[in-house]
Structure 1
Amino acid sequence: MGAQRSAHDAEVVLGLCAFTHDSAAALLVNGHLIGFAEEERLDGVKHSKAYPAEAVAWLLDQAGLTADDVTTVAYNFDGGRYLSALGQLPAHLVGTSTRSRAIPRARSFRTVQRRYRARMRDLSQRFPFARLVPVLHHRAHALYAFLAAEVDDAAVLVVDSLGELQTTTIWHATHHDEQPFRLRLAESVRDPASLGYAYGAVTEHLGWRRGDEEGTVMALAALGDPARFRDLMFRAIRLTTDGFTLDPSLFPLRVLSSRYRRTSPAFTAAACPPRPPDAPVEPVHADVAAALQERTEQVMLHLARRAARLTGSGLLCLGGGVAMNCVAAGQIAQAGIADEIHIPPAPGDSGTAIGAAAAAWLDVTGRPPTGIGRRCYLGPAYPGLALPAEPRPGLAAARPAEPVQHLARQLADGAIVGLFTGPLEAGPRALGNRSILASPFAHEVVDRLNGTVKFREPFRPFAPMVLADKAADYVRLRQPSPFMSIAAPVTELARADLPAIVHGNGTARVQTVTRMQHPFLANVLTAFGEITGHPVLINTSLNIKGEPICGTPNMALDCLVGTGLDALLIEGWWVTKC
């Protein structure tokens, strides 16, 4: 598959998440991370499954390289391992609840394996001088989660829907100066036991898009009563000594095809009929969501405790799609299972592009790559952006002399403002470079954000960002939360003065901000605090429901035109509607 060395005499490793969902690319040159970008934020297609052409082109341009200079392409799945599902066929044919899907399941895994081979042929043509390295999906998750934490010893818990055949893995990672880097698999749970599959199944049953809107179900859960369907979820997701199992009579055996429903008639009879996406949200839907979320938290706590016991480590890193369940992460943080928990900014599949590249470099050199730890602002930037006085019909642009003070004053006066500054951040959270900011003092702001800016359900909460050294005034959290990954209980001060950031369960998914991490945001929070008495702002992503975060200036201007945003601060330009 090509062994010729790069013309630039450098080891160039391109990590890819492609052809499935959340396409992304990462580039290492001589073991250092040059950058990372998610394709959806460049091509405008939510959860893009295309080959990440725009992300790859940007990365190679940043490094002054071409496709011919890539020496290794690391792919975030090891497709040969899909065939291990065929070994489960005899047992599934015997089980009464799995028999009808046993053969379709086996065929679907074989089909995916064939598609994987075609994808590898595609990549070999795009990068003729590179070797192709398939990386075990959960290993890519685990490496990224650990390296992003920048610690020397940790348990790593990866929980998602499916990676080849693994759905849950526990690893022990160590990186001490006097010892070689080590990532050891301590335990593995295989499909059909999958927490991500179960959560996605109920998300779809309740009328939202599986693989996209699980966060909506998590938010709805705060409004429901888990007791109503607690017994159902206990039967559907059972704890075991080394993990958990799913009841196939309630969550039918996975077939890798959208034609097969993921909840059974028995589940429908015990819970509620499937909700059409445009139907009203009823109390029964909130109760189902609450029971699912409660059980998810219990399973995640069980797995986190097991990870701590198996590794003996005092730190815990979380990866995989289920790690984005910030309420479950908050439960783990509050339980004291670990001294700290660390979640990377892109814990879902897009982040495995970084993990795959890291694995390929590590396996050749024995050394982990550099430039990954505690970094999230890794994508394209537009520092020299020039705008005309009228960048779009009906828009006016000007440059305020003091953008920090101007933005803080506008926010204090009740404006809802988009912020587009610096490099594109990684992951699904709004981390200050592609954000919508607003004052946290009134529920009316939340209503307006949901109704005229984000166009989403009215029960969805908004997260706060706060100066890190003031966070204890507003949330009960024992550690920093720079990537908005942990829901923490709020204080009485937050309840009394900042009701807009408090969700129905009494928590807030906080982002703690330091001047080292983000000097501009820290200055805005300081200025806003001087005006209002509280260095806290609502922070949500710069997009509308169903669209990706705005990765380019044109996408940001489109967002301003098409929503109820009052203004957009884009690379120092203050853009408003005439």
Structure 2
Amino acid sequence: MLGLCSFTHDSAAALIVDGQLVGLVEEERLSGIKHDKSYPKRGIDWLLTKAGLYPTDIETVALHFRHDLYRDAAPGALAHLLRPATMRRAIPRARSFLTVAANERERLDALRRRFSDAALTQVLHHRAHGLTAFAASGFDDAAVLIVDSLGETQTTTIAHGRLDDLGVPSWDLVRALHDPASLGYAYGAVTQHLGWRKADEEGTVMALAALGDPDRFADLFTQAIRLTPDGFTLDPRLFPLRVISSRWPRVSKEFIARTCPPRAPHEEITKVHMDLTAALQRRTEEVMLALARTARDTTGSARLCVGGGVAMNCVAIGKILAEGIFEEVFVPPAPGDSGTALGVALAVLADRGEPIPAGVVGACYLGPSPFDVGRSSPGMEGIIGRAELAPAQRIAAALADGQIVGVCNGPLEAGPRALGNRSILASPLLPDVIDRLNRDIKYRESFRPFAPVALADHAHSYFALGGASSPFMSIAVPGTDLGRTMIPAVFHDNGLARVQTVDADRNPLLADILKEFDALTGVPVLINTSLNIKGKPICGTASMALDCLKESGLDALLIDRRWYTREDVR
């Protein structure tokens, strides 16, 4: 069973063989192209090699969209001719839906040629998201909330996830909102308006929001994203009707007149930009809280799973957890589109009456090891490498001494967060650590925060997790008095930190590094950010990691059990 997220952003592949998840890998981590939308050939080749299979051995290929629903939705777009605010975009919208359907038909034919012996099936996009989130949670009953920009025509769904007596998961739709009511579209529109890339740099907008005054544009966003008894709706006078084409702007002239002119990527960030993001973020949190309450009311479940691109808004997820609507809130490690590669395979298996495969629940380290893919002998010009017999002690000592160290170790993480296997680690005790990381390592905006990682049995002393764990760095929470006093660098201007909790079972090396650092400093917490620089994906291979060492201000890099430094940093 081969599951694909292909031909759209965040291309990925997942393989299930005989009831076992072989792996899930995002193509960008192997190609070096951020948000790679190509056919995931590198990932598929690695999965087949790992399983000892050939393309002719694949029985079913499942894809993460149903192109027929785009075609079917096109006539309905003409209804927008009846409203002055949407009539100009109605026909282009219909045409864009038909174009998507036609393009997908060609791509399906290409897949049939590649896997000539396999059945090809397409799965509803939100069902794929939902099954990924529910199956990974380990819950037997949960509300499942999916919020993204667009899946076919759905943008927000609430479903009831259940396991039957045989462990077969179901995703029973309770409520759905359809485009143009899209929270992801609105957040992406403002992201783009402010000079960042939509579907990529929404996290930058979320970070900037902590510096602004949300009251300045509160009335605007109350009008632009209006809560309704069924969920919410967008005002087309501010966020114009979607046309699936980059030629059609996502904010209106009225929105610009009431806020600010479009910002070019390298222009100065001013108070108006901060205030605009703050109002957008607060409205997003209000809408997500309202949706979570609806999910609880309509399903009766005490647990919540959240997926889709908006699930990566860790501040909103933290607000849901803090509100106490649910006993537990779970976000999978790959809540975005790459995770649907797993969800489509799970959907086909569920339709056959087969249970969740082994290796899905709670799993995140699902990709290749550093030397599995890419150049067998990475470029070493200007680099010194030597064996390291005690990597945890070596890294902890370097960190305590003020160095910043990269880690490329073991299987690659799934999803957007560095969870210890492809990480940059730093001491939270350094007074200038945030400036150094942003300026010299990541080459990104100075206001961007960095997430902490803590030993699970010590995390609650430093972070107000309310009894929850956070293994996938999905929730932003306040600090305790001890945390704010001892490690203020890990808390953003809003007082929150997107903490990761780790133990020896989940990541032995990272847990050992934290223990060694605790022994040296008395603090079992480190800063953990992804092993990459701005504009590039997380380093999936050894050669990519060495390039990161060469191109950034990293002091050292561990790849498996070898310690690398630049020749100019001996």
The answer to whether the superposition gives a TM-score over 0.5 is: yes
Q: In the alignment, what sits opposite 2:118?
A: 130
Q: Distance in 2 between matches of 1:394 and 1:182?
A: 54
- One of 454, 468, 493 as aligned partner of 2:482: 493
Measure the CA separation in 1 of the matches of 2:63 and 2:167: 28
Q: Provide the rounded CA distance (Å) in 2 between the counterparts of 1:261 and 1:143.
A: 33
Alignment of 1:333-352 (within 5 A): 333-352=321-340
| SS of structure 1 residue aligned to 2:448 | coil
Distance across 1 between alignment mates of 2:503 and 2:427 = 19
Q: Residue 563 of structure 2 aligns to a residue in which SS?
A: strand
1:164-313 alignment runs, 5 A limit: 164-177=152-165, 181-313=169-301
Give the % identical residues.
58
Comparing 164-173 with 180-189, greater Cα deviation is found at 180-189
- The alpha carbon displacement at 1:182 in A equals 2.5
Match for residue 518 of structure 2 among 514, 526, 529: 529
C-alpha contact (below 8 Å) 2:378/2:542 kept by paired residues = no
1:82 aligns with 2:49: no
Conserved? CA contact 1:388–1:397, under 8 Å: no
2: CA distance between counterparts of 1:547 and 1:203? 19
Q: Per the alignment, do residues 527 and 269 of structure 1 end up closer, same or farther by CA in structure 2, a change over 3 Å counting?
A: same
Instruction: Indicate conservation of the 8 Å contact 1:144/1:358, yes or no.
Output: yes
Q: Secondary structure at the match of 1:140?
A: helix
CA distance in 2, matches of 1:57, 1:341: 35
| Among 76, 88, 91, the residue aligned to 1:103 | 91
1:145 maps to amino acid:
A
Q: Alpha carbons of 1:383 and 1:526: their partners in 2 closer, same or farther (altered >3 Å)? A: farther
8 Å CA contact retained: 2:13, 2:43? yes
Amino acid at match of 2:322: Q
- Contact 1:389/1:396, CA 8 A, preserved across alignment: no
Match of 2:149, SS state, is: strand
Which one of the candidate residues 378, 399, 402 is aligned to 1:411? 399
Distance 1:330 1:450 in 2: 24
Q: CA deviation at 1:383?
A: 7.1
Determine helix, strand or coil for the equivalent of 2:297.
helix
Q: Does 1:144 align with 2:144?
A: no
Distance in 1 separating the partners of 2:71 and 2:306: 27
Distance 1:362 1:384 in 2: 31
3-state SS, counterpart of residue 469 of structure 1:
coil
CA 1:390 to 1:214, structure 2 compared with 1: closer, same or farther past 3 Å? closer
Distance across 1 between alignment mates of 2:379 and 2:194: 41
Alignment partner of 1:447 is 2:426:
no
> How much has 1:390 moved relative to structure 2?
11
Unaligned ranges ≥5, structure 2: none
Equivalent AA in structure 2 for residue 404 of structure 1? A
Which residue does the alignment assign to 1:6?
none
In the TM superposition, residue 391 of structure 1 has moved relative to its aligned partner by 6.1
Aligned residue for 2:458, secondary structure, equals helix
Per the TM alignment, residue 442 of structure 1 is displaced from its structure 2 partner at its CA by 3.0
1:563 maps to: 552
> Secondary structure of 1:365's match?
coil
- Aligned twin of 2:494: 505
> Which residue does 1:8 correspond to in 2?
none
CA deviations 1:417-458 (Å, max 9, x no partner) are: 000100000000010000000000134111011001000000
Tell me the alpha carbon deviations over residues 77-114 of structure 1, each in whole angstroms, 9 at most, x when there is no partner: 01101123224334300001000000000000001000
CA distance in 1, matches of 2:192, 2:8: 19
Q: C-alpha deviations, 1:364-416, integer Å up to 9, x for none?
A: 2343333210000000014799x999962221111233211111010000100
Deviates more, 1:432-441 or 1:401-410: 401-410
Q: Structure 1-normalised TM-score?
A: 0.96
- Residues 402 and 180 (structure 1 numbering): CA distance in 2 closer, same or farther, change over 3 Å? closer
Cα offsets for 1:11-59 (capped at 9, x unmatched): xx10000101100000011232111100000011100000000000000
Alignment coverage as a number of residue pairs? 566
CA distance in 1, matches of 2:103, 2:517: 53
2:168 and 2:350 in contact (8 A); partners too: no
Deviations 1:257-301 (A, max 9, x none): 000000000000111111001101101000000000000000000
Gaps of 5+ in 1: 1-12
Give the C-alpha shift of residue 180 in structure 1.
Answer: 5.4
Deviations 1:432-489 (A, max 9, x none): 0000000001341110110010000000000000001111111101200000000001
Match for residue 376 of structure 1 among 364, 369, 390: 364
Q: How many angstroms apart in 1 are the aligned matches of 2:535 and 2:377?
A: 30
In structure 2, the CA distance between the partners of 1:364 and 1:177, relative to structure 1 (3 Å rule), is closer
